[in-house]
Amino acid sequence: MNRKDFLKWFGLGGVGLLGTASIPALIARLRGAPVDQSGPLCFGPAPTDPTAATGSGFALGDDGMGNGTGLLRRTGNAYGSMVHPPSGLHRNYLSSFERPLKEEHGEWLFAGTSNDGASAKLEDRYLPPFSRAKSGVRDIEVRTINRPVNVAHGTSFNAWTFNGRVPGPVIRATAGETLRIRLRNLTNEPHSVHFHGSHDPNQDGWESIPGGTDTLYTIKAGPVGVHPYHCHVPPLALHMAKGLFGTMIVDPPGGRPPAHEVVLILSGYDLQNRGRNDIYSWNGLAGFYDRFPIRVNVGELVRVYLVNMLEYEPVASFHLHAQTFDVFRSGTKLQPDDHTDVITLGQTERAILEFRLPYKGRYMFHPHQIHMAERGAMGWFVAV
């Protein structure tokens, strides 16, 4: 920052907005000294990527986390999220939440695979497709594992996970199929798996399963739609906020029209154990879809399975810029309930959205609770 920029910033009242925790960093920046860039709200330029829609900026706050009236942001590009994703990720890292109409070619890196993705089967790379189990029965294993997960730039969270990731795996079935879900609790805490939807109450998953044990749930997949699942052991808010949640898609027997499908699960992270979210994410990584936009073809049908799994927030919304969408509330009907550009969801509410992007360009999406967007839950669809 040169003298002219500083005086201009000072004239806007910038110093008066700074919290005391931020003053040393500002002085260091003015002197040209290195600045600590750890944490989700970083100062320096983030790694560039040719597929990225934006670059980076910096943020300051009263508490060093971007909270309070001391919040500032400056970006060196058209727009940017204050909270950046973990460094070193490939744009296809979250491919298990997306299924293009056609497989992409070229360089691929997938979570849990070799560097070239060669060890990953096609069905493991993407969101599972519509299919019918030949026997009418699907066997699924869900494991509870405690582990640290990288959730933002320089930020690790001690999570309770299903199968080692937050959110847990997307489960997909066809209505009427029998699901046999084996829960293996590999932790010392009691846990469970509760599925939303319609099933035998004796298989509801609210009972605690002690650490080091396992159990089997048998349910019928239904009704048609998108349904969350999560741990239901008290204190429920803690178990969900720590990461024990996921999504199940139940397809109609004939499937839905072919589309570019994307699961978007909104959640937050309480980094300071105070019952309040500090950063927000789609599919577990803050700022990921700001850095790595969801790429779709112009004019193709896009289907979003949208799920609100925030704890500590009574309501959240989803807004798509420059386009409107059909809304299928919970996805339980095959005809849309509404057509709009913003939808509001309470905790664990969900919807299926369908739209087409008619022009090449970037289409921003985010919650219209702006603090969520600014702290990691802003992203882009890019029509090519």
95-111+123-383 maps to which CATH number? 2.60.40.420
Q: Would the pLDDT of 354 be above 70? A: yes
Amino acid in the structure at residue 306: L
Confidence band, pLDDT 50/70/90 cuts, at residue 10: very low
* Strand pairing report for 294-296 and 379-383: parallel
Let me know how long the chain is. Answer: 384
Residues making up the annotated binding site are 191, 196, 230-231, 239, 368
CB 367 within 8 A of CB 317: yes
Q: Residue 1 has what pLDDT?
A: 53
Give me the percent of the chain exceeding a pLDDT of 70: 73
Give me the percent of the chain exceeding a pLDDT of 90: 68
Taking only the tens place, the pLDDT of each residue in 206-241 is 999 999 999 999 999 999 999 999 999 999 999 999
Residue spans per domain, the chain: 3-75, 95-111+123-383
| Higher-scoring residue by pLDDT: 25, 121 | 121
**At a CB cut-off of 8 Å and minimum separation 6, what does 205 contact?**
192, 193, 194, 195, 217, 229, 232
Confidence band, pLDDT 50/70/90 cuts, at residue 125: confident
Helix (H, G, I), strand (E, B) or coil at 380: strand
Q: Residue 134 has what pLDDT?
A: 86
Q: Would the pLDDT of 18 be above 60? A: no
Q: For the ranges 97-111, 148-162, 320-334, which has the lowest average pLDDT? A: 97-111
Q: Would the pLDDT of 14 be above 90? A: no
Q: Would the pLDDT of 192 be above 80? A: yes
Taking only the tens place, the pLDDT of each residue in 248-281 is 999 999 999 999 999 999 999 999 999 999 999 9
Confidence band, pLDDT 50/70/90 cuts, at residue 13: very low
CB 382 within 8 A of CB 53: yes
Q: Residue 384 has what pLDDT?
A: 95
Question: How would you write 290-358 as a 3-class SS string?
Answer: HHCCEEECCCCEEEEEEEECCCCCCEEEEEECCCCEEEEECCCCCCCCEEECEEEEECCCEEEEEEECC
How far apart are alpha carbons 277 and 365 in whole angstroms? 20
Q: Let me know how many helices (H) and strands (E) the chain has, helices first.
A: 7, 22
**At a CB cut-off of 8 Å and minimum separation 6, what does 249 contact?**
128, 170, 171, 172, 173, 226, 263, 305
Residues making up the annotated binding site for Cu cation are 191, 196, 230-231, 239, 368
Confidence band, pLDDT 50/70/90 cuts, at residue 118: very low
Q: Residue 82 has what pLDDT?
A: 72
Confidence band, pLDDT 50/70/90 cuts, at residue 94: very high
Q: Is 188 exposed, middle or buried (0-12, 13-18, 19+ CB in 10 A)?
A: exposed
Q: Residue 123 has what pLDDT?
A: 53
Q: Residue 64 has what pLDDT?
A: 39
Arithmetic mean of pLDDT, 84-95? 91
Q: Would the pLDDT of 8 be above 60? A: no
| Alpha carbon distance, N-terminus to C-terminus of the chain | 36
pTM exceeds 0.85 for this model? no
How far apart are alpha carbons 337 and 329 in whole angstroms? 6
Taking only the tens place, the pLDDT of each residue in 311-329 is 999 999 999 999 999 999 9
CB 80 within 8 A of CB 54: yes
Question: How would you write 104-170 as a 3-class SS string?
Answer: CCCCCCCCCCCCCCCCCCHHHHCCCCCCCCCCCEEEEEEEEEEEEEEEECCEEEEEEEECCECCCCC
Average pLDDT value over all residues in the chain: 81
Confidence band, pLDDT 50/70/90 cuts, at residue 104: low
Confidence band, pLDDT 50/70/90 cuts, at residue 83: confident
Per the DSSP assignment, residues forming a β-bridge with 165 are: 162
Amino acid in the structure at residue 337: D
Half-sphere exposure of 362 (CA within 13 A, CB side): 17
- The H-or-E segment that residue 361 falls in is strand 361-366
Closest of 312, 263, 293, 289 to residue 373, by C-alpha = 289
Taking only the tens place, the pLDDT of each residue in 43-82 is 434 434 323 333 333 332 334 333 332 222 334 445 655 7
Torsion of CA 144, 148, 149, 153, to 10 degrees: 170
Q: Would the pLDDT of 21 be above 90? A: no
